[in-house]
Structure 1
Amino acid sequence: MSVSLTKGQKISLSKNGATLTRVFMGLGWDVAKKGGLLGGLFGGGGESIDLDASCLVFDERGELVDEIWFRQLKGMHGAIVHTGDNLTGDGDGDDEVIKVDLSKLPASVKSLVFTVNSFRGQTFDKVANASCRLVDDTNQKELAVFALSEAGSHTGLIMAKLYRHNGEWKLHAIGEKTAGKTFHDMMPAILGML
């Protein structure tokens, strides 16, 4: 069963007393369409769209302790793995995936912030069928789904934060619109969300 979270909403990642241990964030979008009838016939028009998923790891003090993105595909000694950079959105399903084994994260980790950015600068309202989802990796059930096109004319979005509260992992849907071609450009807004 899928839960469509709204901005600011929080949910627990514990179900019936059993805590989820493995989740993944999937990011999907469609290849840019060629412009017009002649553009489609002769290969003109359309521009390549490169969305990027990132996971930033913070400690109790709110300090960045690890970053998992297309230039660093593994973090936290293998507890977080990015499956690889997709430069076009080509293919079905999730185009970029970040897998997290919450049970392998050290106790010093307080929160994980998931972001999406448009590396080539196209705004989200120009990207077809762009969505991001958080999935229980044990039974492949969607926990939350976010439509990126609703972000409008922005190039970055702070999607969600997984955080520990009283020994339990919770999900906070942030949905903060930002500008940035990488998460580095978005850091002032990210730090404001901690």
Structure 2
Amino acid sequence: MTVNLTKGQQVSLTKTDGRPLTLIRMGLGWQATPRQGFLARFMPPRDIDLDASAVLFSGAHFIDVVYFDHLLSDDGAVEHSGDDRTGGTGAGGDDESIRVNLLRVSPHVDQIVFVVNSFSGETFEAIENAHCRLVDDATGQELARYTLAADGPHTAQIMAKVARRGDMWHLVAIGQAENGRTFEDLLPAVARHV
């Protein structure tokens, strides 16, 4: 059963039998809003390049990042699917995804923050059906979904984080609108959530 996340909501990353999840996937999907006006039907659909990134922390210290130009974390536990420069899947599926093997995450990494930014510079007002979703990658079952708000002229959003508490991982929906074309632009804002 999918949980529709709200800002600040937490979900324990356990299976229905109480065992911890081991393989998760954070998926990102989006579509460009249709062009408006008389000439819109003669123009090709708009391409919007959103980028998903996973930023790894130990406490408040930045450790590593996985994004379109660094597809695998140094410990091999976090892997990016690759860059999708157009989007278009939207509410149905994922355009970019990041897989996390929770058993292989370095012991000193206690938080992984997922961010999305508009590399092409369009604001979220030009995007519709944008979501991030958490999937049990071993079974394909969607566990949680967070709809990315398109309620302002921001170019990025800090979506969610997975945080380790002892031996257990939890998902926390953040949903903070920000501005930035790259994950580097977002690091000061991300640091406020770790």
Contact 1:76 1:105 in 2 (8 A): no
Contact 1:66 1:76 in 2 (8 A): yes
Structure-1 separation of matches of 2:118 and 2:87: 12
Contact 1:151 1:157 in 2 (8 A): no
Q: Which residue of 2 aligns with 1:167?
A: 167
* Structure 1: 4+ residue segments shifted above 4 A: none
Q: Which residue of 2 aligns with 1:22?
A: 23
- The CA RMSD over aligned residues, in Å, is 1.8
Structure-1 separation of matches of 2:4 and 2:149: 15
1:70 deviates by 0.9
1:158 deviates by 0.6
The 5-angstrom pairing of residues 172-191 of structure 1 reads 172-191=172-191
1:39 deviates by 3.4
Q: Which residue of 2 aligns with 1:128?
A: 128
Q: Which residue of 2 aligns with 1:78?
A: 76
Instruction: Tell me the amino acid that sits aligned with residue 120 of structure 2.
Output: R
1:100 deviates by 0.7
Q: Which residue of 1 aligns with 2:102?
A: 102
Q: Which residue of 1 aligns with 2:41?
A: 40
1:37 deviates by 4.4
Structure-2 separation of matches of 1:117 and 1:103: 28
Contact 1:56 1:112 in 2 (8 A): yes
Q: Which residue of 2 aligns with 1:89?
A: 87
TM-score (norm 1): 0.90
Structure-2 separation of matches of 1:132 and 1:159: 7
Which structure 2 residue ranges, 5 or more long, are not aligned? none
Structure-2 separation of matches of 1:33 and 1:78: 39
Q: Deviations over 1:35-79 (max 9, x none)?
A: 4443323x36x542111100011113x211110001111113321
* Structure 2 counterpart SS, 1:121: coil
1:154 deviates by 1.2
Count of aligned positions: 191
Q: Which residue of 2 aligns with 1:149?
A: 149
* Structure 1 counterpart SS, 2:133: strand
Structure-2 separation of matches of 1:59 and 1:112: 9
Structure-2 separation of matches of 1:88 and 1:108: 36
Structure-1 separation of matches of 2:76 and 2:93: 24
Structure-2 separation of matches of 1:127 and 1:149: 9
Q: Deviations over 1:120-152 (max 9, x none)?
A: 221112202111111111111222211123453
TM-score (norm 2): 0.90
The answer to whether the aligner puts 1:192 opposite 2:187 as a matched pair is no
Instruction: Tell me the amino acid that sits aligned with residue 23 of structure 1.
Output: I
Q: Which residue of 1 aligns with 2:137?
A: 137
Structure-1 separation of matches of 2:148 and 2:175: 9
Structure-2 separation of matches of 1:70 and 1:105: 19
Instruction: Tell me the amino acid that sits aligned with residue 102 of structure 2.
Output: L
Instruction: Tell me the amino acid that sits aligned with residue 40 of structure 1.
Output: R
